[in-house]
């Protein structure tokens, strides 16, 4: 059987795959705003990791193709599982909670602090635009850069930005004063306990939907 299929001398089937190096991720510099973050640990919403081209040799004619059934069964068994439903966030201002959804199922609920009078957290549907670990903070009063870990830095260990007016940003971050969680105490941002914030950070990505409702 195999001799009849492959007996022609000099017959070869070549398959080549060329995957160029991924395009280097680009990052946007922040405008003069309340928040600034180091280039390291940067997850940019402008990252592009698409190969420029993928070249394959022509697919053989049906008469030339032969697949060992046992190999086909193995390949089927090794196929990746279907993608799970996307994570999305809902911020409930009245309840001072953020709910994590997987599809239509609530998987987590975290207490939060929200904007105080005159600095209300905006409502609407947004997307995660920035993610930073150990963010640096720029004081809006002195323009001083306060590194992560400094007692004067109010951002904590994580930053998840989802709203901007082109100058200032609003997002999830930690707090030096845990009593602000559960209260209207911020300048519009979402305050969280550090452990909750880091847990939330692991569940989201750039583009994750964030809906803010009363």
Residues 98 and 84: their CA atoms lie apart, in Å, by: 21
**Do 106 and 89 meet the contact criterion of CB atoms below 8 Å apart?**
no
Identify the pLDDT of residue 184: 95
Domain containing 162 — which CATH number?
2.40.440.10
When divided into structural domains, the chain yields a total of: 1
Identify the pLDDT of residue 27: 37
Residue 37 lies inside a defined structural domain of this protein? no
Extended strands (E) in the chain = 42-44, 87-92, 97-102, 105-111, 114-115, 124-127, 130-133, 137-138, 145-146, 158-164, 169-173, 184-186, 190-191, 209-213
pLDDT tens digits for the chain (214 residues)?
A: 444 444 434 434 433 433 444 444 333 333 333 444 443 343 433 333 333 333 333 333 333 334 444 443 444 445 555 556 899 999 999 999 999 999 999 999 999 999 999 999 999 999 999 999 999 998 878 889 999 999 999 999 999 999 998 888 999 999 989 999 999 999 999 999 999 999 999 999 999 999 999 9
Q: How many other C-beta atoms are found inside a 10 Å radius of the C-beta of residue 137?
A: 22
Identify the pLDDT of residue 112: 98
Identify the pLDDT of residue 89: 98
Nearest to 170 by CA among 185, 190, 154, 184: 190
Residue 177 lies inside a defined structural domain of this protein? yes
Residue 135 lies inside a defined structural domain of this protein? yes
Identify the pLDDT of residue 82: 52
Residue 63 lies inside a defined structural domain of this protein? no
Identify the pLDDT of residue 115: 96
The first and second tokens of residue 141, run together, are 């009063």
Residues 136 and 153: their CA atoms lie apart, in Å, by: 7
Identify the pLDDT of residue 84: 66
Residue 31 lies inside a defined structural domain of this protein? no
Residues 28 and 44: their CA atoms lie apart, in Å, by: 7
Helix ranges (H only) for the chain are 2-6, 69-77, 194-203
Residue 68 lies inside a defined structural domain of this protein? no
Residue 40 lies inside a defined structural domain of this protein? no
Range of the domain at 156: 87-213
Residue 79 lies inside a defined structural domain of this protein? no
């Amino acid at each position: 059987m195999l001799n009849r299929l492959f007996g022609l001398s000099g017959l070869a089937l070549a398959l080549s795959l060329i995957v160029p190096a991924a395009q280097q991720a680009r990052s946007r510099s922040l405008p003069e705003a309340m928040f600034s973050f180091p280039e390291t640990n940067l997850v940019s919403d402008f990252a592009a990791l698409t190969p420029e081209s993928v070249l394959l040799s022509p697919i053989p004619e049906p008469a030339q193709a032969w697949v060992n059934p046992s190999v086909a069964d193995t390949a089927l068994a090794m196929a990746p599982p279907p993608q799970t439903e996307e994570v999305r966030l809902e911020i409930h201002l009245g309840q001072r909670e953020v709910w994590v959804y997987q599809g239509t199922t609530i998987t987590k609920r975290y207490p939060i602090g929200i904007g105080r009078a005159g600095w209300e957290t905006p409502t609407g549907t947004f997307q995660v635009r920035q993610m930073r670990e150990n963010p640096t903070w720029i004081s809006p009063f002195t323009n001083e850069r306060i590194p992560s870990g400094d007692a004067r830095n109010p951002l904590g260990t994580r930053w998840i930005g989802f709203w901007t007016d082109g100058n200032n940003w609003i997002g999830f971050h930690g707090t030096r004063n845990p009593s602000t969680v559960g209260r209207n105490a911020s300048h519009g941002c979402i305050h969280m306990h550090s452990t909750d914030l880091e847990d939330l950070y692991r569940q989201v990505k750039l583009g994750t939907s964030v809906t803010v409702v009363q």
